[in-house]
Protein backbone atom coordinates (compact mmCIF):
# COMPACT_ATOMS: atom_id res chain seq x y z
CA UNK A 1 0.00 0.00 0.00
CA UNK A 2 1.03 3.63 -0.37
CA UNK A 3 3.29 5.36 2.12
CA UNK A 4 4.33 8.46 0.26
CA UNK A 5 6.93 9.79 2.66
CA UNK A 6 8.70 6.45 3.10
CA UNK A 7 8.44 5.75 -0.62
CA UNK A 8 10.69 8.77 -1.10
CA UNK A 9 12.92 8.20 1.93
CA UNK A 10 13.54 4.46 1.42
CA UNK A 11 16.63 4.44 -0.79
CA UNK A 12 18.70 1.24 -1.20
CA UNK A 13 21.03 2.30 1.62
CA UNK A 14 18.08 3.11 3.89
CA UNK A 15 16.53 -0.29 3.16
CA UNK A 16 19.88 -1.93 3.92
CA UNK A 17 20.03 -0.12 7.26
CA UNK A 18 16.46 -1.22 8.05
CA UNK A 19 17.36 -4.81 7.21
CA UNK A 20 20.47 -4.75 9.39
CA UNK A 21 18.30 -3.64 12.33
CA UNK A 22 15.53 -6.15 11.63
CA UNK A 23 13.06 -3.39 10.78
CA UNK A 24 12.73 -3.86 7.03
CA UNK A 25 9.55 -5.92 7.35
CA UNK A 26 7.78 -2.96 8.97
CA UNK A 27 7.98 -1.03 5.70
CA UNK A 28 8.03 -3.78 3.09
CA UNK A 29 4.85 -5.32 4.47
CA UNK A 30 3.11 -2.03 5.31
CA UNK A 31 -0.64 -2.56 4.93
CA UNK A 32 -1.95 0.91 5.60
CA UNK A 33 -2.56 3.90 3.39
CA UNK A 34 -0.43 6.95 4.12
CA UNK A 35 -0.10 8.80 0.84
CA UNK A 36 -0.31 12.10 2.73
CA UNK A 37 0.13 14.09 -0.47
CA UNK A 38 -2.49 16.72 0.34
CA UNK A 39 -2.80 18.89 3.42
CA UNK A 40 -6.02 18.47 5.39
CA UNK A 41 -7.61 20.93 7.82
CA UNK A 42 -5.57 19.26 10.56
CA UNK A 43 -2.24 20.10 8.90
CA UNK A 44 -3.45 23.57 7.89
CA UNK A 45 -4.34 24.39 11.51
CA UNK A 46 -1.00 23.05 12.76
CA UNK A 47 0.97 25.05 10.18
CA UNK A 48 -0.96 28.25 10.97
CA UNK A 49 0.20 28.09 14.60
CA UNK A 50 3.91 27.80 13.88
CA UNK A 51 6.29 30.72 14.29
CA UNK A 52 9.30 28.78 13.00
CA UNK A 53 10.41 25.69 11.13
CA UNK A 54 13.61 24.02 9.95
CA UNK A 55 14.49 23.93 6.25
CA UNK A 56 16.91 21.37 4.80
CA UNK A 57 18.53 21.80 1.39
CA UNK A 58 21.47 20.21 -0.41
CA UNK A 59 24.31 21.89 -2.34
CA UNK A 60 25.87 20.83 -5.64
CA UNK A 61 28.68 19.23 -3.62
CA UNK A 62 26.22 17.01 -1.77
CA UNK A 63 26.54 18.76 1.59
CA UNK A 64 23.22 19.26 3.42
CA UNK A 65 22.33 22.54 5.07
CA UNK A 66 19.66 23.01 7.74
CA UNK A 67 18.38 26.49 8.43
CA UNK A 68 16.00 27.80 11.06
CA UNK A 69 13.26 29.94 9.57
CA UNK A 70 11.27 32.18 11.87
CA UNK A 71 8.71 34.95 11.79
CA UNK A 72 5.34 35.96 13.23
CA UNK A 73 3.05 33.07 14.03
CA UNK A 74 1.41 31.89 10.82
CA UNK A 75 4.06 33.35 8.49
CA UNK A 76 4.19 29.99 6.69
CA UNK A 77 1.01 30.19 4.61
CA UNK A 78 -1.16 27.41 3.25
CA UNK A 79 -1.98 28.47 -0.32
CA UNK A 80 -3.94 25.32 -1.17
CA UNK A 81 -3.91 21.65 -0.17
CA UNK A 82 -0.63 21.03 -1.99
CA UNK A 83 1.11 24.40 -1.74
CA UNK A 84 2.74 26.49 0.98
CA UNK A 85 4.50 29.83 0.73
CA UNK A 86 6.59 32.02 3.00
CA UNK A 87 8.40 35.33 2.86
CA UNK A 88 12.17 35.16 2.67
CA UNK A 89 13.31 37.86 5.08
CA UNK A 90 16.78 39.36 4.97
CA UNK A 91 19.16 37.68 7.41
CA UNK A 92 22.95 37.42 7.52
CA UNK A 93 23.07 37.54 3.69
CA UNK A 94 24.89 34.23 3.21
CA UNK A 95 22.05 32.98 0.96
CA UNK A 96 23.01 29.33 1.40
CA UNK A 97 19.46 27.96 1.23
CA UNK A 98 18.64 30.28 -1.68
CA UNK A 99 21.68 29.10 -3.61
CA UNK A 100 21.06 25.44 -2.84
CA UNK A 101 17.47 25.70 -4.05
CA UNK A 102 18.65 27.27 -7.30
CA UNK A 103 20.75 24.15 -7.88
CA UNK A 104 18.11 21.61 -6.82
CA UNK A 105 14.59 22.41 -5.73
CA UNK A 106 14.26 19.37 -3.47
CA UNK A 107 13.92 20.25 0.21
CA UNK A 108 12.58 19.05 3.51
CA UNK A 109 10.70 21.08 6.11
CA UNK A 110 10.48 20.11 9.77
CA UNK A 111 7.77 21.79 11.85
CA UNK A 112 7.87 21.44 15.63
CA UNK A 113 5.27 21.97 18.34
CA UNK A 114 7.38 21.40 21.44
CA UNK A 115 4.59 22.22 23.88
CA UNK A 116 2.35 19.45 22.53
CA UNK A 117 5.22 17.16 21.50
CA UNK A 118 4.20 17.03 17.83
CA UNK A 119 6.26 17.27 14.65
CA UNK A 120 5.33 17.44 10.99
CA UNK A 121 7.92 16.57 8.33
CA UNK A 122 7.50 17.52 4.69
CA UNK A 123 9.18 16.59 1.42
CA UNK A 124 8.71 19.34 -1.15
CA UNK A 125 9.97 21.17 -4.20
CA UNK A 126 10.69 24.85 -3.55
CA UNK A 127 10.96 27.69 -6.03
CA UNK A 128 11.92 31.31 -5.46
CA UNK A 129 9.36 33.87 -6.63
CA UNK A 130 10.17 37.53 -7.19
CA UNK A 131 8.06 39.97 -5.20
CA UNK A 132 6.63 41.58 -8.34
CA UNK A 133 5.99 38.27 -10.12
CA UNK A 134 2.84 37.35 -8.21
CA UNK A 135 1.24 40.31 -6.39
CA UNK A 136 -1.47 38.12 -4.84
CA UNK A 137 1.10 35.75 -3.36
CA UNK A 138 3.18 38.67 -2.11
CA UNK A 139 0.12 40.09 -0.38
CA UNK A 140 -0.63 36.71 1.18
CA UNK A 141 2.80 36.27 2.79
CA UNK A 142 3.25 39.90 3.84
CA UNK A 143 2.68 40.35 7.58
CA UNK A 144 1.50 43.91 8.38
CA UNK A 145 3.66 45.60 10.97
CA UNK A 146 6.52 43.09 10.74
CA UNK A 147 9.64 45.16 10.19
CA UNK A 148 11.94 42.57 8.55
CA UNK A 149 12.88 43.25 4.93
CA UNK A 150 11.17 40.88 2.50
CA UNK A 151 13.54 39.91 -0.34
CA UNK A 152 11.65 37.15 -2.15
CA UNK A 153 8.97 34.51 -1.72
CA UNK A 154 9.50 30.78 -1.55
CA UNK A 155 6.69 28.67 -2.95
CA UNK A 156 6.60 25.13 -1.56
CA UNK A 157 5.06 22.33 -3.66
CA UNK A 158 4.17 19.37 -1.48
CA UNK A 159 5.47 15.94 -2.45
CA UNK A 160 4.62 14.05 0.76
CA UNK A 161 4.37 14.65 4.50
CA UNK A 162 4.24 12.53 7.61
CA UNK A 163 3.75 12.92 11.35
CA UNK A 164 6.32 11.68 13.85
CA UNK A 165 5.57 10.08 17.19
CA UNK A 166 6.13 12.27 20.29
CA UNK A 167 8.83 10.02 21.73
CA UNK A 168 11.97 11.88 22.87
CA UNK A 169 10.47 15.36 22.30
CA UNK A 170 11.18 17.44 25.40
CA UNK A 171 8.30 19.90 25.98
CA UNK A 172 9.35 23.53 25.64
CA UNK A 173 7.19 26.60 25.91
CA UNK A 174 7.32 30.07 24.43
CA UNK A 175 7.16 33.21 26.55
CA UNK A 176 3.59 33.75 25.33
CA UNK A 177 2.56 30.22 26.34
CA UNK A 178 4.12 30.57 29.78
CA UNK A 179 2.45 33.96 30.29
CA UNK A 180 -0.95 32.51 29.41
CA UNK A 181 -0.43 29.45 31.62
CA UNK A 182 0.39 31.49 34.72
CA UNK A 183 -2.24 34.17 34.07
CA UNK A 184 -4.84 32.65 36.47
CA UNK A 185 -2.19 32.46 39.21
CA UNK A 186 -1.18 36.06 38.60
CA UNK A 187 -4.81 37.20 38.73
CA UNK A 188 -5.34 35.29 41.98
CA UNK A 189 -2.24 36.84 43.52
CA UNK A 190 -3.36 40.30 42.45
CA UNK A 191 -6.78 39.71 44.04
CA UNK A 192 -5.19 38.49 47.28
CA UNK A 193 -2.83 41.46 47.32
CA UNK A 194 -5.80 43.80 46.89
CA UNK A 195 -7.50 42.15 49.89
CA UNK A 196 -4.35 42.54 51.98
CA UNK A 197 -4.02 46.19 50.98
CA UNK A 198 -7.68 46.82 51.87
CA UNK A 199 -7.25 45.23 55.30
CA UNK A 200 -4.15 47.27 56.00
CA UNK A 201 -6.02 50.45 55.05
CA UNK A 202 -8.79 49.90 57.62
CA UNK A 203 -8.79 51.95 60.83
CA UNK A 204 -7.00 50.13 63.66
CA UNK A 205 -9.35 47.81 65.52
CA UNK A 206 -12.04 47.75 62.86
CA UNK A 207 -11.20 44.22 61.83
CA UNK A 208 -11.33 42.97 65.43
CA UNK A 209 -14.82 44.48 65.94
CA UNK A 210 -16.15 42.80 62.81
CA UNK A 211 -14.70 39.49 63.88
CA UNK A 212 -16.36 39.77 67.30
CA UNK A 213 -19.68 40.71 65.72
CA UNK A 214 -19.48 37.77 63.36
CA UNK A 215 -18.87 35.43 66.31
Count of positions (residues) in the chain:
215
Do 121 and 185 lie in one domain? The reply is no
Same domain, 142 and 120: yes
Shared domain for 14 and 46, answered yes or no, is: no
Query: Do 41 and 147 sit in the same domain of this protein?
Result: yes
CA 108 vs CA 52, 132, 140, 164: distances in Å: 14, 26, 22, 14
Q: List, edge to edge, every strand of the sheet that includes 64-70.
A: 64-70, 52-58, 106-113, 118-129, 150-164, 83-89, 77-80
Q: Examine the domain organization and report whether 30 and 47 are in the same domain.
A: no
Q: Are residues 117 and 41 in the same domain?
A: yes
13 located within any domain: yes
Quick one: pLDDT at residue 208? 52
Judge contact between 120 and 46, C-beta under 8 A: yes
CATH number of residue 53's parent domain: 2.30.110.10
Do 54 and 78 have their domain in common? yes
Q: Which pLDDT tens digit goes with each residue over 179-197?
A: 999 999 999 999 999 889 8
Does some domain include residue 44?
yes
pLDDT in tens, 45-86: 999 999 999 999 999 999 999 999 999 999 999 999 999 999
Residue 20 resides in a domain: yes
pLDDT confidence bin for 211, thresholds 50/70/90: very low
Q: What's residue 2's pLDDT? A: 64
Range of the domain at 209: 175-214
Same domain, 89 and 181: no
Residues 42, 140, single domain; the answer is yes
Same domain, 149 and 209: no
Task: Calculate the average pLDDT of the chain.
Answer: 89
Report if residue 170 sits inside a domain. Answer: no
The pTM score is: 0.82
Residue 106 has pLDDT above 80, yes or no: yes
Residue 169 lies in a domain: no
Same domain flag for 13 and 54: no
Per-residue pLDDT reduced to its tens digit, 159-184: 999 998 888 899 899 888 899 999 99
Q: Do residues 28 and 116 share a domain?
A: no
Q: How many domains does the chain have?
A: 3
* Gap between the Cα atoms of 76 and 118, Å rounded: 17
Amino acid sequence: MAYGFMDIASTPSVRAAQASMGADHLWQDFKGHRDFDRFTENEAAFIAERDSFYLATVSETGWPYVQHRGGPRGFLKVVDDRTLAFADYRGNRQYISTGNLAATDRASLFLMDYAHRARLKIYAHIEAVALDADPALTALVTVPGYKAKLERIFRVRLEAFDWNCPQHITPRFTEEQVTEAVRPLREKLEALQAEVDALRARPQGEGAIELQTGA
